[in-house]
């Protein structure tokens, strides 16, 4: 059996506390107190697997993602990507590392993370130019292919970020990340800025891309519903530490740690009585998949992990 | 049941755009809200939810124009009211909480001071009384050590804390109506639950009505008495929460429900709402603005603008071919 694509061991990252949080202690008298944003975190991601990383703001999930993406330097620990120790390369020179093209990121707010002066074509072309030195016809071919895979209509490639809707901008961010055919995609809350009705389309796209290409995902989210839909396994982080891990359904339905239970209980229960096969559904293969497994009956979970309000 | 607090009739708003084009952002929106009741306004981005909120509060952009309609709050007509009257209303009966509280608060003023500013603007009082009241309000919205937090700047607080400060500001005028525009978008689920619990508790204690604007049907379903669905500037359905989620009448409402994740349904069983919200600046907008996305469209009937009419008791829909 092949080793996992990504192995993270004893990862640690501290930040110095700001002066206001330190109170009036004399800072030159003793070392600056630190908060450990990531404290002895370890996990594996197998090829083609989607691993969810959940927790509240401040739990260290985004810091973990940026350490793995090598946008920041860890204070300790190992990150093995396909057998290479990528943690030893300083973040400053990681942009030129040979594996840079194989680990890509999709950021939270596509409206904020895209360069407002670059149109969609340029946004998708930039990493191809920089990391694969593509030019001319070949560049154009690859950009069009990435846009097509992200289901971004060609007619939108000349549009600038402010001319794109939230869902379209999200597709540009995804096209840009998959243009390089990475083995690992790190997604930091990719749908949290989107409408629920648009979120579904983006999640389905991500799921399809993963199945087709065998990419692995590290999916950072505070939305447990979304993690349940997309990820096979999940890590729950709290104050820099992993407090629970395992199969997604198992962890979310039968949380062992009280923090996981609190997270699960805070998700608003949605129990509409209409089901997906009700009359009025449009025919056609794309729109008529039988729900499987069958939906849990409302009664079975109202009293359990998702109390109704 | 208590009387009608807010009465919105036939509200229509348009925006002027460059090149002489006009965006018909709201068209004939009608709804009522009773004292103490909670109404959710749901729909995709671009459906007119936030424009409705801003129109109610008289905070529309100068490029916007209310072309028709009436908004009565406690019997006072707000459309066409003077800036002074509107400001008095916003300082008293009507309060707003916006998305992204960190941007709504003044970043270089201590939060306690900002609450005092609001209190003093409404009714001048001695500095000590204002300070005491500000600390009391911070305590009321569940901020620990309110006297110490009085000195905090917004950037020193978490997003959830900032939203609590916003709510304290909103409550400082003892409003009869709270308009909360995506108050928890961008907050953690646990923080969201806390903020929504706080709004609900305050609404109960004060008999305050709440207009909750959200794109999250799961949130609306758990927190509201009634839900009004908007699409492209039209209010297409208005129903008690049980009726809407049990038997939606408008095809758009049904699609919104089917796109919302729920326990037990795999990703493949969810469906995004087909099509996109039409560009409201188009000159050839169809009379039913959902027609182009609709699989239940009837060729002849849908050539006329659907009228919001009774579908069942307390349940109205604007559709020529409801479910």
Percent of chain A past pLDDT 90, that is, above it, reads 61
Q: Read off the pLDDT of each residue in B300-318 and give the average, rounded to a whole number.
A: 91
**DSSP state for residue B84 in the 8-state scheme:** H
- Extended strands (E) in chain B: 4-16, 22-34, 38-42, 64-73, 76-77, 94-97, 177-181, 209-214, 226-231, 234-240, 309-312, 315-317
B323 touches chain A (CB under 8 A): yes
Chain B residues whose CB is inside 8 A of the A204 CB are 267-268, 270, 272
Chain B residues whose CB is inside 8 A of the A56 CB are 188-191
Q: Read off the pLDDT of each residue in A136-164 and give the average, rounded to a whole number.
A: 93
Q: pLDDT tens for residues B67-88?
A: 999 999 999 999 999 999 999 9
Sign of CA dihedral A246, A249, A252, A257: negative
Q: Read off the pLDDT of each residue in A26-36 and give the average, rounded to a whole number.
A: 67
Return the residue of A nearest to B296 by Cα.
A280
pLDDT at residue number A289: 36
- Whether A28 shows a pLDDT value over 60: the answer reads no
pLDDT at residue number A18: 65
B24 to chain A, minimum CA–CA distance in Å? 18
Return the residue of A nearest to B218 by Cα.
A270
B313 touches chain A (CB under 8 A): no
**pTM of the predicted protein model:** 0.84
pLDDT at residue number A287: 37
Inspect the interface and report whether the beta carbons of B263 and A198 lie closer than 8 Å. Answer: no
Residue by residue, DSSP assigns B86-119 as HHHHHHTTEEEE-S-HHHHS-TTS-HHHHHHHHH
pLDDT at residue number B290: 94
Sign of CA dihedral B289, B292, B294, B298: positive
What separation in angstroms does the CA of A89 have from each of A63, A72, A305, B121? 17, 10, 43, 57
d(C-alpha B300, C-alpha B317), whole Å: 19
Q: Read off the pLDDT of each residue in A134-160 and give the average, rounded to a whole number.
A: 94
Q: How confident is the model at residue A20 (pLDDT cuts 50, 70, 90)?
A: low
Q: pLDDT tens for residues A77-122?
A: 999 999 999 999 999 889 889 899 999 999 887 778 899 999 999 9
- Whether A300 shows a pLDDT value over 60: the answer reads no
Sign of CA dihedral B305, B309, B312, B317: positive
pLDDT at residue number A227: 94
Q: Which of residues 200-219 of B touch A (CB under 8 A)?
A: 215-219
Q: pLDDT tens for residues A224-243?
A: 889 999 999 999 999 999 99
pLDDT at residue number B276: 85
Q: Read off the pLDDT of each residue in B201-223 and give the average, rounded to a whole number.
A: 93
- Whether B320 shows a pLDDT value over 50: the answer reads yes
pLDDT at residue number A167: 86
Q: Give every CB contact of residue A152 below 8 A, 6+ residues apart in sequence.
A: A120, A168, A171, A172, A175
pLDDT at residue number A37: 92
d(C-alpha A286, C-alpha A299), whole Å: 30
**DSSP state for residue A189 in the 8-state scheme:** S
- Whether A3 shows a pLDDT value over 90: the answer reads no
Q: How confident is the model at residue A22 (pLDDT cuts 50, 70, 90)?
A: low
Q: How confident is the model at residue A275 (pLDDT cuts 50, 70, 90)?
A: low
Residue B234 has, within 13 A of its CA and on its CB side, a CA count of: 25
B265 vs A226, A267, A295: nearest CB: A295
pLDDT at residue number A193: 77
Q: pLDDT tens for residues B99-129?
A: 888 888 999 999 999 999 999 998 999 999 9
Please count the residues of chain B: 323
pLDDT at residue number B148: 94
- Whether A245 shows a pLDDT value over 80: the answer reads yes
pLDDT at residue number A282: 38
B148 touches chain A (CB under 8 A): no
Angle at the Cα of A72 from the Cα atoms of A88 and A206, rounded to 5 degrees:
105
Percent of chain B past pLDDT 70, that is, above it, reads 99
pLDDT at residue number A286: 37
- Whether A29 shows a pLDDT value over 70: the answer reads no
pLDDT at residue number A288: 34
pLDDT at residue number B232: 95
- Whether A276 shows a pLDDT value over 80: the answer reads no
Phi, psi at A235, each rounded to 5°:
-115, 135
Q: pLDDT tens for residues B254-304?
A: 999 999 988 888 999 999 888 888 988 888 889 999 999 999 998 888 889
Angle at which helices B189-206 and A258-266 cross, to 10°? 60
pLDDT at residue number B1: 45
B104 touches chain A (CB under 8 A): no
- Whether A302 shows a pLDDT value over 80: the answer reads no
Residue by residue, DSSP assigns A22-82 as HTT--TTTSPPPEEEEEEEEEEEE-TT-EEEEE--TTSSHHHHHHHHTTSS--SEEEEEET
pLDDT at residue number A27: 53
Return the residue of B nearest to A288 by Cα.
B269
- The whole-chain average pLDDT of chain B stands at 92
Q: Read off the pLDDT of each residue in A154-179 and give the average, rounded to a whole number.
A: 91
Mutate to test the interface with B, among A20, A53, A268 (most CBs of B within 10 A): A268
pLDDT at residue number A295: 34
DSSP 3-state of B26: strand
Return the residue of A nearest to B244 by Cα.
A272
pLDDT at residue number A1: 66
Inspect the interface and report whether the beta carbons of B215 and A195 lie closer than 8 Å. Answer: yes
pLDDT at residue number B204: 93
**Helix H or strand E segment including B138:** helix B127-140
Q: Read off the pLDDT of each residue in A138-146 and give the average, rounded to a whole number.
A: 96
Chain B residues whose CB is inside 8 A of the A224 CB are 189
Q: Read off the pLDDT of each residue in A277-295 and give the average, rounded to a whole number.
A: 37
Q: Are B14 and B48 in contact (CB under 8 A)?
A: no
B273 to chain A, minimum CA–CA distance in Å? 6
pLDDT at residue number A23: 56
Q: Read off the pLDDT of each residue in B217-232 and give the average, rounded to a whole number.
A: 94
Percent of chain B past pLDDT 90, that is, above it, reads 72
B140 to chain A, minimum CA–CA distance in Å? 22
pLDDT at residue number A26: 56
- Whether A258 shows a pLDDT value over 80: the answer reads yes
Q: Which has more pLDDT, A82 or A288?
A: A82
B25 to chain A, minimum CA–CA distance in Å? 17
Inspect the interface and report whether the beta carbons of A197 and B255 lie closer than 8 Å. Answer: yes
């Amino acid at each position: 059996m092949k080793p996992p694509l990504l192995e993270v061991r004893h990862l640690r990252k501290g930040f110095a506390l700001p002066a206001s949080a330190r109170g009036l202690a004399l800072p030159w008298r003793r070392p600056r107190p630190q908060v450990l944003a990531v404290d002895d975190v370890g996990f594996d991601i197998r090829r083609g697997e989607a691993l969810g990383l959940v927790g509240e703001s401040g739990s260290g999930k985004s810091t973990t993602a940026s350490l793995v993406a090598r946008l920041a330097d860890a204070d300790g620990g190992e990150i093995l990507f396909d057998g290479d120790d990528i943690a030893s390369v300083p973040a400053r020179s990681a942009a030129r590392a040979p594996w840079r093209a194989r680990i890509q990121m999709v950021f939270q707010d596509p409206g904020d993370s895209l360069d407002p002066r670059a149109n969609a074509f340029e946004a998708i072309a930039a990493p191809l130019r920089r990391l694969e030195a593509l030019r001319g016809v070949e560049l154009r071919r690859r950009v069009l292919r990435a846009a097509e895979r992200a289901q971004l209509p060609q007619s939108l490639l000349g549009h600038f970020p402010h001319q794109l809707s939230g869902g379209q901008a999200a597709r540009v961010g995804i096209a840009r990340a998959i243009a390089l055919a990475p083995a690992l995609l790190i997604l930091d809350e990719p749908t949290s800025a989107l409408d629920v009705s648009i979120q579904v389309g983006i999640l389905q796209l991500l799921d399809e891309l993963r199945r087709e290409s065998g990419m692995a995902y590290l999916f950072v989210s505070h939305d447990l519903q979304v993690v349940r839909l997309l990820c096979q396994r999940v890590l729950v982080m709290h104050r820099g530490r992993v407090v629970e891990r395992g199969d997604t359904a198992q962890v979310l339905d039968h949380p062992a740690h009280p923090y996981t239970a609190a997270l699960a209980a805070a998700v608003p229960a949605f129990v509409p009585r209409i089901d997906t096969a009700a009359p009025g559904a449009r025919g056609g293969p794309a729109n008529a998949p039988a729900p499987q497994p069958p939906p849990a009956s409302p009664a079975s979970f109202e009293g359990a992990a998702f109390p109704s309000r | 049941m208590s009387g009608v607090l807010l009465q919105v009739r036939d509200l229509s708003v348009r925006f002027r755009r460059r090149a002489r084009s006009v965006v018909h952002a709201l068209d004939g929106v009608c709804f009522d809200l009773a004292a103490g009741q909670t109404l959710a306004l749901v729909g995709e981005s671009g459906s007119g939810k936030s424009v409705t909120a801003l129109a109610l509060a008289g905070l529309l952009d100068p490029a916007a124009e209310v072309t028709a309609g009436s908004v009565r709050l406690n019997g006072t007509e707000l459309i066409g009211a003077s800036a002074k009257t509107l400001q008095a209303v916003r300082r008293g009966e009507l309060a707003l909480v916006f998305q992204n509280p960190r941007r709504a608060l003044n970043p270089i003023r201590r939060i306690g001071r900002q609450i005092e500013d609001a209190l003093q603007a409404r009714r001048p009082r001695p500095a000590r009384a204002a300070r005491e009241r500000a600390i009391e309000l911070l305590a009321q919205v569940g901020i620990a050590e309110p006297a110490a937090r009085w000195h905090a700047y917004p950037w020193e607080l978490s997003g959830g804390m900032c939203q609590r400060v916003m709510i304290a500001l909103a409550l400082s005028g003892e409003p009869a109506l709270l308009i909360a525009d995506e108050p928890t978008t961008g907050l953690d689920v646990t923080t969201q639950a806390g903020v929504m619990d706080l709004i609900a508790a305050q609404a109960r204690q004060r008999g305050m009505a709440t207009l909750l604007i959200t794109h999250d049907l799961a949130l609306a379903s758990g927190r509201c008495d009634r839900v009004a669905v908007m699409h492209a500037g039209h209010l297409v359905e208005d129903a008690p929460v049980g009726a809407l989620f049990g038997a939606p009448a408008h095809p758009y409402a049904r699609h919104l429900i089917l796109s919302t994740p729920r326990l037990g349904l795999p990703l493949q069983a969810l469906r995004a709402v087909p099509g996109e919200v039409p560009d409201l600046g188009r000159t050839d907008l169809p009379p039913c603005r959902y027609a182009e996305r609709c699989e239940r469209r009837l060729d002849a009937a849908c050539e006329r603008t659907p009228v919001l009419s009774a579908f069942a008791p307390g349940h109205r829909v604007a559709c020529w071919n409801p479910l």
